Structure 1
Amino acid sequence: MLRVFAAFLMVLVIGASSVSAGQGDGRFDLYFIDVEGGASTLLVTPGGESVLIDSGYPGYQNRDLDRILHVVRQVARLDHIDHAVVSHWHLDHYGNHAVLAANIPIRNFWDRGIPDDLQEDKQFLERITAYRAATQNASKRLKAGDEFTFPTAGTPLTVKVMTGSREVVPNSGEPNPFAAANQPQADDPSDNAASLSTLWTFGDFRFFTCGDLTWNVEAQLVTPRNPVGKVDLFMVTHHGLDVSNNPTLVHAIDPVVTVMCNGPTKGGGEQTLKTIAGVKSLKAAFQLHRNIKLAEDLQAKPSRIANTEPTVNCAGRWIKASVAPDGKSYTVQVGEDGPKESFETRGPADK
């Protein structure tokens, strides 16, 4: 009886600080929100703690803002966001952080550090003012090598920052058999190359996301050794653009499932789609959008594409991955009414 009462009190305490659809079932939920070729990913831990990585484009009659708030409030059933992360300083990734903070409480802001200026964005100093105001100049800086553990009742959940501000973690791990095939591209001076990359581990389940990290830094991370290891779920980098998704990295991490956060005409590049199709362990590739400029046979199966219409007709369907409490299996579904596809987590020996 005492144990039952203590458990009941714990539920009440957690419920008072956070409300989520996944809370209480011990699952780790990941929502890939359609922001029309920007990026916004909501993660909800088994303990109900929420992490929003990026926030899509501002404006457009609050299109991306409304879609994020819908998933946060109506789908995940959250009344606040615990952590809002900016992967890098391009408007399609941090454009709604300030206005989100005006609509729903955000407890912590994280980024790679705010640069003094941004050469590729002439309006950066004006735009960053709103972010500074929303964060009260108190955002926390993330750098390569940082690690965090989230409170859970059972299976441990951790995140490690693998890249940030053009720095990468030490080159440890197994030798990368694809390192010798790397073909360097011209150096990328943009903030894409400075993107934060994070590796999430929930028991045996591993999820990897890299913002808009570009070709040469991708190779630097996994050459000659692969500190990331093999993963279960990979958010295809940079909306699936061909200046990213270096096969030296993609084939080394060998994902079982991929999710591409592209738009109708942005991302989903032909070279990237071919790279993903060539992954040895791949079982399913998902896309937020059909690339209306490419042939159908190059893209994901129609049932695994959330939105097939041009922007003007887009319903903004999201993709959700949900990991079992023991971290040994997970499901992926398109929208609220899509069928759930089930996958077994690769065991430690397969990492």
Structure 2
Amino acid sequence: MTRIALAALFAATALSSAQAAELPLKLLMIDVEGGAATLFVTPEGKSILVDAGWPAGAGVPRPPEGAQPGPPQPSSAERIVAKAKAAGVTKIDYLIVTHYHMDHVGGVHDLLARIPVGTIIDHGPSREETPATMTPAQAANMPASLYAGYETAAAKLHRWVVKPGDVLQTGSLRITFVAADGQVLKTRLRGAGGKTAFCDTTPDKDAIGGEENVRSTGFVATYGKARILDLADLTWNQEKALVCPTNMMGPSDVLIVSHHGSALSSSPPLIAAVAPRVALLANGARKGGDKVVLDTLKAAASKPVVWQSHFATREPDGNRPADYIANLDTWPDAGHSIEAEISKDGTIKVVNARNGFTETYRPN
């Protein structure tokens, strides 16, 4: 190759890198019916999927009594792969499995059959025991059984068992793990510190819902000046351990609301410490989206704008206006997503895929 050709190649590469530096980080909160599946795509084309939703046939909406059956509903994995391909992703570079409940880990096998995955990340073995009173059919959907199948699948990939403080740098996105296997971060992140409000007035709560919730893998993702917090289904007391009495994580611009917006999480101290500007809520029509959580977010000093995956039917008075809800109807299901573009300066653009409603939030 001539010097001129080499110079042209280097110039094109430099231009491409410069252009990538100006592009936003994509965040796609995929609707998997109250499960979890969030896809990050960096400007360099690196992809990180957080959880894989339900196994095929589970978690799909059912028609109400008397309604005509609709077409077969796509599985969580089918929805994830469709969204990934639409975003230009043909391989998941990193799959983070936050814990082993069926709505988070159930779709892994189906996903691996549909798209290549590079590295799989988790907190280590399942810690949740199956009650002896369960039938074999019930036990098959419990973490102990699901983990056995997951471990077999993970053995075929590069596997990374993380602990708090571990860092994943991929492209221009930096992910710092702050919780894993029941342990939380002990060293403050940069920009953290200070006493957290509401610690003294917020009592502890019993961690119902299974041991695996307590052991959820959570992280702070940093892209330029922007920060995103995802604590999966981490429970109330573990949240408090991260921010009380001292805020170990610092503020985050975007909050993936814990536990699908269940009242088992999202304590007032956490919301005060994180001070989000935008909150994304992966609830189902009849799962999560609890009014007390939405009220806590509404009362927060940072006044976050909340976007929901589904209209919450159990407590309809708590819902946001329709433009901020991706799926209004429980049947037929359309599987609309909430999508965000996050710039390095902290600008956040959020789009409701159902109707194209868009808002942009500039850094303070």
Alpha-carbon RMSD across the aligned residues, in angstroms, is 2.3
The whole-number CA distance in structure 2 between the counterparts of 1:212 and 1:4 is 50
Give the alignment partner of residue 264 of structure 1, picking from 244, 261, 285.
285
Give the alignment partner of residue 6 of structure 1, picking from 7, 10, 35.
10
The change in CA–CA distance for 1:10 and 1:48 in structure 2 (over 3 A counts) is farther
Matched, 1:122 2:139: yes
Matched, 1:316 2:335: yes
The whole-number CA distance in structure 1 between the counterparts of 2:129 and 2:320 is 35
Instruction: Output the amino acid matched with 1:65.
Output: A
Residue 133 of structure 1 is matched in structure 2 by 152
Residue 168 of structure 1 is matched in structure 2 by 184
The change in CA–CA distance for 1:69 and 1:327 in structure 2 (over 3 A counts) is same
Q: The residue matched to 1:139 in structure 2 has which SS?
A: strand
The whole-number CA distance in structure 1 between the counterparts of 2:161 and 2:349 is 32
Deviation of the 1:272 alpha carbon:
0.7
Residue pair 2:162, 2:180 contacting (<8 A) in 1 also:
yes
The whole-number CA distance in structure 2 between the counterparts of 1:229 and 1:116 is 29
Superposition pairs of residues 1-351 of structure 1, within 5 angstroms: 4-9=8-13, 26-60=23-57, 62-74=74-86, 76-115=87-126, 118-119=129-130, 122-123=139-140, 124-136=143-155, 138-152=158-172, 157-170=173-186, 172=188, 173-188=193-208, 190-296=211-317, 298-310=318-330, 312-324=331-343, 326-335=344-353, 337-346=355-364
Which has the higher Rg, Structure 1 or Structure 2? Answer: 2
Residue pair 1:56, 1:95 contacting (<8 A) in 2 also:
yes
- Count matched residues: 330
Structure 1: give runs of 5+ residues left out of the alignment: 15-21, 347-351
Per the normalisation by structure 1, the TM-score is 0.87
The whole-number CA distance in structure 1 between the counterparts of 2:241 and 2:49 is 27
Q: The residue matched to 2:77 in structure 1 has which SS?
A: helix
Q: The residue matched to 2:44 in structure 1 has which SS?
A: coil
Deviation of the 1:313 alpha carbon:
1.2
The whole-number CA distance in structure 1 between the counterparts of 2:11 and 2:332 is 47
Deviation of the 1:291 alpha carbon:
0.5
Residue pair 1:171, 1:222 contacting (<8 A) in 2 also:
no
Q: The residue matched to 1:313 in structure 2 has which SS?
A: coil
Query: CA-to-partner distance for each residue in 1:50-99, whole Å, 9 max, x for gaps?
Result: 0000011112254212211110112x121111011101110100111121
Instruction: Output the amino acid matched with 2:175.
Output: V
Residue pair 2:341, 2:350 contacting (<8 A) in 1 also:
yes
The whole-number CA distance in structure 2 between the counterparts of 1:301 and 1:309 is 14
The whole-number CA distance in structure 1 between the counterparts of 2:354 and 2:316 is 27
Q: The residue matched to 2:341 in structure 1 has which SS?
A: strand
Instruction: Output the amino acid matched with 2:160.
Output: K
Q: The residue matched to 1:180 in structure 2 has which SS?
A: coil
Percent identical among aligned pairs is 29
Segment of structure 1 superposing worse, 87-96 or 110-119? 110-119
Q: The residue matched to 2:27 in structure 1 has which SS?
A: strand
Per the normalisation by structure 2, the TM-score is 0.84
Residue pair 1:23, 1:48 contacting (<8 A) in 2 also:
no
Deviation of the 1:131 alpha carbon:
2.1
Q: The residue matched to 1:327 in structure 2 has which SS?
A: coil
The whole-number CA distance in structure 1 between the counterparts of 2:207 and 2:345 is 38
The whole-number CA distance in structure 2 between the counterparts of 1:273 and 1:167 is 27
Deviation of the 1:3 alpha carbon:
5.7
Segment of structure 1 superposing worse, 59-68 or 88-97? 59-68
The whole-number CA distance in structure 2 between the counterparts of 1:99 and 1:287 is 26
The whole-number CA distance in structure 1 between the counterparts of 2:112 and 2:363 is 35
The change in CA–CA distance for 1:262 and 1:243 in structure 2 (over 3 A counts) is same
The change in CA–CA distance for 1:306 and 1:336 in structure 2 (over 3 A counts) is closer
Q: The residue matched to 2:75 in structure 1 has which SS?
A: helix
The change in CA–CA distance for 1:150 and 1:3 in structure 2 (over 3 A counts) is farther
